[in-house]
Amino acid sequence: MLVTCDCVVEGKHFLPRHFSAAELGCRTMTLNISDIGAMGGRPLYALVSLGLKSNTPVSYVEELYRGFLSELNPLGASIIGGNLTESGGGIFIDVTLIGEVKQGRIIKRSGARAGDAILVTGSPGQSAAGLELLLHSDPQNSFDRHPLVLAYKKPSHRACEGQAISDSGCATAMIDISDGLLGDLGHICRESRVGAQILRQKIPVSEAMVEAASCLGEKPSEMFMKSSDDYELIITCPQDCIGTIRAAVASASDIPVTQIGNITDKHDGIVLIAPDGEQQRIKPSGWDHFSRQ
Amino acid sequence: MLVTCDCVVEGKHFLPRHFSAAELGCRTMTLNISDIGAMGGRPLYALVSLGLKSNTPVSYVEELYRGFLSELNPLGASIIGGNLTESGGGIFIDVTLIGEVKQGRIIKRSGARAGDAILVTGSPGQSAAGLELLLHSDPQNSFDRHPLVLAYKKPSHRACEGQAISDSGCATAMIDISDGLLGDLGHICRESRVGAQILRQKIPVSEAMVEAASCLGEKPSEMFMKSSDDYELIITCPQDCIGTIRAAVASASDIPVTQIGNITDKHDGIVLIAPDGEQQRIKPSGWDHFSRQ
């Protein structure tokens, strides 16, 4: 049995002008589903604890629930309870999600071993890039329908892929990258007591990311360095299991799986290697709820 | 397996000036433990989701956790996870508590039958009376050490009594009175599709309540009518099981059990009978999070 809990707060994790209630419901449930999926599990039961404003319309709450259920229903999961209160400030949505994983098939953050391959699904950072585009939107230059903005507003979880990877029995560690590719790789390294070597040119950068980087005046190869806000998976596994992991993911979806580096010894730390061979030592910070940006 | 979820919000459910962090932690965990106990269950695992202010000191959070654990530890339950975020407003504490109950021994709100006795543990309304005293405190007239104020600041759950009642197999319905004696009796009546007849003079009123009523200029017999904020239990059972229920509670603690009335047919509604025989029909309102008081 698995249990996870994540809370989103108005003004801190989302701005209401960027999300319809249904989109907000989808996004909030997706990030909890992702946490269960990243352990190789299947979500079963959600509890939804809402903090609402005194003037939140009932129709808004109904739309939120439509959003929650549109993510849960396809997985056969349901909402079994929760709580309702006035928040005293902005809206908050706190979801506890209960799931299950087959005996002996749970994938933790702590199992990576030196020599393992580091794989990632999809293109990390699309959602965070979408948020940056949104923040740079203006009436003359709206990015509302940009694919990265859609990736931010309605991100995909990889729970089915995570279950297939769990079933393969090959992964040594797994995590979603909600704290950013390097932040979450840092979680694996810390909990597995290992280091990591990442080849920058191997990190998949989508065409949309290249275009967005150009709009935003940034290097596409640096956009994945930030907090990600999306729900791709980092998977570590022995080198001879890469094919099995790819096959497992392919059994669930057509999302690409890319090897971006290898696990090393702990004392090597986390190192990002540029195409010219220059090595940059990374101190992953991840997401700090109390940072003043 | 049982799961419950309850959230307290600064300014709505508590005022920080009334509670130390440890007291707030105790109180918040107590109300969740009470919900598990009121189904006859045993709490096992808590998830704590905190929304904090940017200037909440770490020491405050540590004291909160000491409060949580001081309630969980004696029951053999523990905190297994949770979440931490900045709230954007006041503090909120959202607890999800997972418990277990023996197969076939769960006590719901929906099992009361016409003819059953209605029992209550302790003296309902002590905690709410304590809050009223606190709100009437001033430097000249401090009620800080009044037993009712202590009942408000550190209420007791009846989880061990609830488990003993569950083990007896005799109760038809059970609920805690966090929404008030009549509000929660209303929940039982609605979900069991029954009515209830309550004898006002049978409702146990403690000496402290009589004294508080005199301070506050209210009738002691009306103080239990309000929202209660305490965690006594209402139990319904067949008339010939009252002794068994009393014995079950006595096996857990010396808290008194009082019969305050009987379950009736649904069409009779909920009726409060005064000592002179006058009947007052009750429309239980319970706690409304969005009411403007």
Domain ranges in chain A are 2-100, 117-282
- Say whether A55 sits in a helix, a strand or coil: coil
> For residue A79, what are its two tokens?
């909402």
- Measured between beta carbons, the chain B residues lying within 8 angstroms of A58 are none
What pLDDT is stored for residue A293 in this prediction? 43
Question: Is residue A107 classed exposed, middle or buried when 0-12, 13-18 and 19+ CB atoms within 10 A define those classes?
Answer: buried
- Mean pLDDT for chain A overall: 92
pLDDT band, very low/low/confident/very high, at A45 (cuts 50, 70, 90): very high
Whether A13 and chain B come into contact, CB under 8 Å, resolves to yes
- Gap between the Cα atoms of A167 and A105, Å rounded: 7
Three-class DSSP category at B212: helix
Residues of A in contact with B83 (CB under 8 A): 5-7, 94
Answer yes or no: do B289 and A84 touch at CB < 8 A: yes
Lowest model confidence (mean pLDDT) among A242-246, A274-278, B147-151, B187-191: B147-151
**How does pLDDT run across A202-227, given as a tens digit for each residue?**
999 888 888 888 888 888 777 777 76
Q: Please report the number of interchain residue pairs, chain A to chain B, with beta-carbon separation below 8 angstroms.
A: 105
Nearest to A5 among B9, B83, B289 (CB): B83
Closest Cβ opposite residue B81 in set A3, A83, A84: A3
- Which residues in chain B are closer than 8 Å to A292, comparing Cβ atoms? 54
**B117-282 under CATH 3.40.50.1370, yes or no:** no
Q: Which two tokens stand for residue B247?
A: 């014995």
Q: How far apart are CA B7 and CA B14, in angstroms?
A: 11
Interface probe for B, chosen from A4, A86, A96 (most Cβ of B below 10 Å), is A96
Residue A276 is predicted with a pLDDT of: 95
Q: CATH for A2-100, among 3.20.20.10, 3.30.1330.10, 3.40.50.10800, 3.20.20.140?
A: 3.30.1330.10
pLDDT at B140: 73
Report the pLDDT value the prediction gives residue A169, as an integer from 0 to 100: 97
**Inter-residue contact B182 to B118 (CB < 8 Å):** no
Q: Is the distance from CB of A68 to CB of A102 less than 8 angstroms?
A: no
Per DSSP, which regions of chain B are E strands? 2-9, 42-52, 78-86, 92-100, 117-121, 173-176, 195-199, 233-237, 257-264, 270-273, 279-282
B94/A contact by beta carbon, under 8 A: yes
Q: What is the pLDDT of residues B206-245, one digit of tens each?
A: 888 888 888 888 887 777 777 678 899 999 999 999 999 9
- The Cα–Cα gap between B284 and B261 comes to 16
Helix (H) or strand (E) holding B164: helix B159-168
Whether residue A184 contacts residue A176, with contact meaning beta carbons closer than 8 Å, is answered with yes
| Burial category of B181 from C-beta neighbours within 10 Å (exposed 0-12, middle 13-18, buried 19 and up) | buried
What are the structure tokens assigned to A137, written together?
Answer: 């939107």
Taking a C-beta distance cutoff of 8 angstroms, is the pair B157, B231 a contact? Answer: yes
A51/B84 CB distance under 8 A: no
User: Measured between alpha carbons, how far is B11 from A144 in angstroms, rounded to an integer?
Assistant: 38
Nearest CA in chain A to B288: A85
The residues of chain B scoring below 50 in pLDDT are 293
Nearest Cα residue in chain A from B55: A290
Helix axes A126-135, A207-216, angle to 10 degrees: 30
- Give the DSSP letter of residue B141: B
> pLDDT band at A288, cuts 50/70/90?
low
Contact assessment for residue B231 and residue B90, using Cβ atoms and an 8 Å cutoff: no
Per-residue pLDDT reduced to its tens digit, A119-150: 999 999 888 888 888 888 777 777 778 889 88
Q: What are phi and psi of B45, to 5 degrees?
A: -135, 130
Helix (H, G, I), strand (E, B) or coil at A62: helix
Q: Which helix (H) or strand (E) holds A273?
A: strand A270-273
Q: Which of B 19-58 lie inside 8 A of A, CB atoms?
A: 45, 47, 49, 51-52, 54
Helix (H) or strand (E) holding B248: helix B242-252
CA–CA min distance A256, chain B (Å): 31
CA A82 to chain centroid:
24
DSSP annotation string for A102-144:
-TT----SS---TT-EEEEES-TTHHHHHHHHHHT-BTTB--T
Residue A286 scores a pLDDT above 60: no
**pTM of the entire predicted model:** 0.91
CA distance A1 to A41: 8
pLDDT band at A102 (very low <50, low <70, confident <90, very high): very high
Mutual angle of helices B242-252 and B159-168, in 10-degree steps: 140
| pLDDT value of position B175 | 97
Instruction: Say how far apart CA A214 and CA A220 lie, in whole Å.
Output: 8
Residue identified by tokens 């190789």 is: A40
ipTM of the complex: 0.89
Q: What is the mean pLDDT of residues A9-14?
A: 91
Cα–Cα nearest to B96, from B155, B38, B159, B33: B33
Pick among B2, B28, B92 to test the A interface (most A CBs inside 10 A): B92
Q: How far is CA B274 from CA A23, B222, B277, in A?
A: 54, 11, 5
- The C-alpha atoms of residue B84 and residue B241 are separated, in whole angstroms, by 46
**Chain A partners within 8 Å of B90 (Cβ):** 88-89
